[in-house]
C-alpha cells in the first residue's frame, strides 16, 4: 500500500466496520463519557480475552465499584469473582488493586495522561497506555494491538516484526489525523474480515491497494 492510498483505505474501513459490533473498550468509553479510569480497567480486562467476556466482566465489576478508592475497598476475591472468566483473572485482580493504590498514592486518584507514566502501572503496557491517552484524553497516540500490527504489515504499509516496532513506524508514517481512531477501525476489521489465518479477501474492498503480505491462504 502506497502512502497516497492510506486515505482511501481508511474511508473504506470506516464504512465496512459499521456492520460489526463496536469493540468493548469503545463501548465503555462512550457509555462512561470517556472516563479514563474505566477505560484503563476495561482495557486491562480485555487483554487475551474475547470481547463478550470482557464486556460482561466489566459490567459486573463496575456495578461494584467505578473509582480507584471504591475499587480498592473491594476484597481481592470479590474482584476475582466479578471478572472471572477473563484471561489471567487472578493476576488482573491483583493488578487492579495495585493500580488503584498507586493512583491514590501518587496521582491523587486521577489516571495520568502520559504514556510514560501509565506504563509504570501494574500490568499496563504501551497498547493500554496509548488507548487510555487517545480514547480517555483525546491526546495524540497510536494504540497498536495485534490487529493493527498484522493488518498494517499485511497491507504493506509498514514492515515491522513487533507491535512496538509498528507503533514507532506508524508514528513516522501515518497521518496524524488518523492516530486516535486507527485502533478503533482496525480491531473490528481484523476480528471479522482481515483475520489472522485465511482472511476473507474475496469480500474485502481493499484488494487493489493491499499487498497481502504473508497471506498464504484466503477465502
Instruction: Supply the pLDDT for residue 9.
Output: 97
Q: pLDDT 10s digit of each residue in the chain, 219 long?
A: 999 999 999 999 999 999 998 888 889 999 999 999 999 999 999 998 999 999 999 999 999 999 999 999 999 999 999 999 999 999 999 999 999 999 999 999 999 999 999 999 999 999 999 999 999 999 999 999 999 999 999 999 999 999 999 999 999 999 999 999 999 999 999 999 999 999 999 999 999 999 999 999 999
Instruction: Supply the pLDDT for residue 24.
Output: 87
CA–CA dist 15, 8 (Å, integer): 11
Instruction: Supply the pLDDT for residue 180.
Output: 93
Instruction: Supply the pLDDT for residue 25.
Output: 87
User: Which residue ranges make up each domain of the chain?
Assistant: 3-21+142-203, 35-137
3-state helix, strand, coil in the chain (%, to 5): 60, 0, 40
Hey, how many other C-beta atoms are within 10 angstroms of the C-beta on 84? 14
- Give, in order, the Cα–Cα distances in Å from 75 to each of 45, 85, 96: 17, 17, 11
136 close to 180: Cβ distance less than 8 angstroms: no
- Report the topology of domain 3-21+142-203: Endonuclease Iii, domain 2 (1.10.1670)
Instruction: Supply the pLDDT for residue 146.
Output: 93
Instruction: Supply the pLDDT for residue 134.
Output: 94
CA–CA dist 137, 133 (Å, integer): 5
Instruction: Supply the pLDDT for residue 120.
Output: 96
CA–CA dist 118, 156 (Å, integer): 31
Instruction: Supply the pLDDT for residue 199.
Output: 97
Instruction: Supply the pLDDT for residue 141.
Output: 93
CATH superfamily of 35-137: Hypothetical protein; domain 2 (1.10.340.30)
Amino acid at each position: 500500500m502506497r502512502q497516497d492510498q492510506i486515505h482511501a483505505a481508511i474511508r473504506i474501513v470506516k464504512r465496512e466496520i459499521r456492520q460489526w459490533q463496536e469493540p468493548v473498550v469503545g463501548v465503555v468509553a462512550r457509555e462512561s463519557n470517556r472516563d479514563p479510569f474505566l477505560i484503563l480497567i476495561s482495557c486491562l480486562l480485555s487483554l487475551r480475552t474475547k470481547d463478550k467476556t470482557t464486556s460482561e466482566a466489566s459490567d459486573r465489576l463496575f456495578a461494584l465499584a467505578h473509582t480507584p478508592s471504591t475499587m480498592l475497598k473491594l476484597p481481592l476475591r470479590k474482584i476475582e469473582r466479578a471478572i472471572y472468566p477473563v484471561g489471567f483473572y487472578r493476576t488482573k485482580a491483583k493488578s487492579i488493586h495495585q493500580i488503584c493504590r498507586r493512583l491514590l498514592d501518587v496521582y491523587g486518584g486521577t489516571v495520568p495522561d502520559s504514556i510514560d507514566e501509565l506504563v509504570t502501572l501494574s500490568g499496563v503496557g504501551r497498547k493500554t497506555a496509548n488507548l487510555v491517552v487517545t480514547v480517555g484524553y483525546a491526546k495524540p497516540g497510536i494504540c497498536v494491538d495485534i490487529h493493527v500490527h498484522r493488518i498494517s504489515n499485511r497491507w504493506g504499509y509498514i514492515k515491522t516484526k513487533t507491535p512496538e516496532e509498528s507503533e514507532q513506524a506508524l508514528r513516522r508514517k501515518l497521518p496524524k489525523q488518523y492516530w486516535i481512531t486507527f485502533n478503533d477501525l482496525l480491531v473490528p476489521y481484523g476480528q471479522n474480515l482481515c483475520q489472522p489465518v485465511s482472511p476473507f479477501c474475496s469480500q474485502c474492498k481493499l484488494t487493489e491497494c493491499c499487498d497481502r503480505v504473508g497471506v498464504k491462504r484466503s477465502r
